[in-house]
Amino acid sequence: CLRSRATASASRPVAIKPLPPALARLPGLCGRFLQEARTAARLSHPHIVPIHAAEDHGELVCFIMAYVPGETLAERVRAEGPLPTTTVSRIVREVAWALAYAHQHGVIHRDAKPENILLERGSGRALVMDFGIARVADQIPLTPAGDVMGTPRLVSPEQAAGEATDGRSDLYSLGVTAFFALTGRYPFEGDNAGQLLAQHL
Examine the residue annotation and report whether 111 is marked as an active-site residue of this protein. Answer: yes
Among the listed residues 56, 111, 130, 138, the single catalytic one is 111
Task: Please check whether residue 99 is in contact with residue 112, taking contact to mean a CB–CB distance below 8 angstroms.
Answer: yes
Task: Give the catalytic positions in this structure.
Answer: 111
